[in-house]
Structure 1
Amino acid sequence: MSKPDRYVSFVGIDGDSNARKLVALLRRHIDDPARTNRFWELFKDKLEKINKPDETSGFSQDELYLVHAYINNIRELFETYDDQPALALLDRIEAESC
């Protein structure tokens, strides 16, 4: 039995794919030792636990959840490095999926 999509109200919007693309853009920054910090290192740990509810007390996280939960931190990072394509995608995700 497949797991139901909890984002059914967003029919026609590929929020999961957009969130995965955004995380890829984010990783370009936070995987750079000169741009990371303790917060982003802990965030990367959360990314590693995506779809591993046995490691998160039964709570299943995904990229879209993490983007929503940390949207202000992500925005600040993209603004710091003037990453306009990433900011545009973040704005789109916020408008379509938040």
Structure 2
Amino acid sequence: MNKTTQDVDRYISFEGIKCNQNADRLMGMLEDNLTQQIGDTKWQTYFADKLAHQQRCGHDNLHFIGNQMNILFDYFTQCDDQPALALLYQIEQECC
């Protein structure tokens, strides 16, 4: 059986939900915004520290996003990055 987006329900199964791939995509969006220095400069320092901590602890991108959900929402809102906000919402609904 082929799962569609409407058939996906994380409370039944994570089958068909691309949590890790979507987390990796969102982290790429974050990196792009930071590289382009979009948003207040305080974000550069904040995320540099948090990403270094992620590396030291060996946490994956989904773990990082789950811990930074509200901060990421604030940052992507300030950047007016609608695709990133939509993906963040999707990750929250499907994976967190």
Fold shared by both chains (TM-score > 0.5) = yes
Q: Distance in 2 between matches of 1:85 and 1:95?
A: 15
Aligned residues: percent identity? 31
Matches within 5 A, 1:12-23: 12-23=16-27
Instruction: Find 1:71's aligned residue among 59, 69, 72.
Output: 69
Runs of 5+ in structure 2 lacking a partner?
A: 1-12
Q: How does 1:37-76 map to 2 (within 5 A)?
A: 37-47=44-54, 49=55, 55-56=56-57, 60-76=58-74
Runs of 4+ residues deviating >4 angstroms = none
Q: CA deviation at 1:41?
A: 1.4
Q: Show the counterpart of 1:97.
A: 95
- Bigger share in helix: 2
Give unpaired runs (5+ residues) of structure 1: 1-8, 50-54
Normalising by the residue count of structure 1, what TM-score does the alignment of the two structures yield?
A: 0.72
Q: Any idea what SS the aligned residue of 2:80 has?
A: coil
TM-score (ref. length: structure 2): 0.74
> How many residues align structurally?
81
RMSD over aligned Cα atoms: 1.8
Instruction: Measure how far apart 1:25 and its partner are.
Output: 0.3
**Shift in Å, 1:32:** 3.6
